[in-house]
Amino acid sequence: MNALEVIGGALLGGKVVEKVLGPTAEYLGEGIKTFAEKRVENVRNIFTNAQKKLGDRINSPGAVPPRVLAGILNDGSYRDDKLATEYYGGVLASSRTEISRDDRGATLISLVSRLSSYQLRVHYVIYRIFFELYGGSNTPITPSKDRITLKTFIPESSLLIAMDFSESEPGQMIMEHALVGLSREELFNPLNWAYGGPPMLQQRGYNGPERGLIVEPTPNGVELFLNAMGGGHLPINGFLWQGTSIPPIEGITIPSGSLSLKPLNSDKETGHSLIANG
């Protein structure tokens, strides 16, 4: 059994893997045979996800850059949570190109590898909410004067439902870990976000009674979301275009209740991040 068949398994004996990768399939060496069964299964799930997101595009000419494949084999093979599979599969699908030097997906694979499962889920939830609130509005993500009109309040109760924490998981600590990490990577505006109670959120334009999160999107965050959902062929400013379709991921419940907030200052970004327990 060759390397393609090891990964492909039930995927037509490796034919799907070869179609997704194109000529890059030649980089699959015999070392893959030494992978533990669980690692092979994880890689297989990523390729199955990429196949689904490519749809008919899988039959078009193209290849996946070797650096993208390397990231999937080196880190993706150790990730067995469903959302990581979605992100790796989406970036894999989005990276398929006819341009030999187009290895943009490698930077996104590296980014996904740096994010914990919790951070990936919070990123998905936030950008799914952005899409549901503003999709079809044609609001551009750049420049920033347009982007800050997308400032949003997300109730903490909605976040906790979407995160689906077990009783043994320290939800508050995990949320802080996730938000600080996403801010560090500039996956939302690191200069103008807040997470906590009403007194603090009032400084960001929310005057309601609930705890929650106030965030604005960034080009980095949109680029990752689009690619992870298999929409890497879209420009960043196409995120909220009328006609852009991004199906939700099954199994992640995102309650309604998030609100668009009028910016305190529509001409510039101000302030610093805030996080509090009160």
Q: Do residues 232 and 148 share a domain?
A: yes
Token digits of residue 196:
């906590």
- Domain end among 92, 114, 136: 114
- pLDDT tens digit sequence for 75-108: 999 999 999 999 999 999 999 999 989 899 999 9
**pLDDT band at residue 264, thresholds of 50, 70 and 90?**
very low
- Say yes or no: 156 and 207 in one domain: yes
Last residue of a domain, one of 99, 114, 129: 114
Choice between 159 and 205, residue whose per-residue pLDDT is larger: 159
Do residues 73 and 155 share a domain? no
Query: Angle between the 104-114 and 219-228 helix axes, to the nearest 10 degrees?
Result: 100
Reply yes or no on whether the pLDDT at 215 is more than 70. Answer: yes
Domain boundary among 114, 140, 173: 114
Domain that holds residue 265: 117-275
Whether the pTM exceeds 0.75: the reply is: yes
Taking only the tens place, the pLDDT of each residue in 101-160 is 989 999 999 999 999 999 999 999 999 999 999 999 999 999 888 888 999 999 999 999
Note whether 104 and 192 are same-domain residues: no
Are 186 and 103 contained in the same domain? no
Total domains in the fold of the chain: 2
User: Alpha carbon 211 to chain centroid distance?
Assistant: 24
Say whether both 150 and 88 belong to one domain: no
The residues, ordered by sequence, that sit 6+ positions from 160 with a Cβ below 8 Å of its Cβ are: 171
- What does the alpha-carbon distance between residue 26 and residue 48 come to, in Å, rounded to a whole number? 19
Mean pLDDT, residues 10-37 taken together: 75
The pLDDT value recorded for residue 256 is 92
Residues whose CB falls within 8 Å of the CB of residue 40, separated by 6 or more in sequence, listed in order: 6, 7, 9, 32, 77
The whole-number pLDDT of residue 277 equals 44
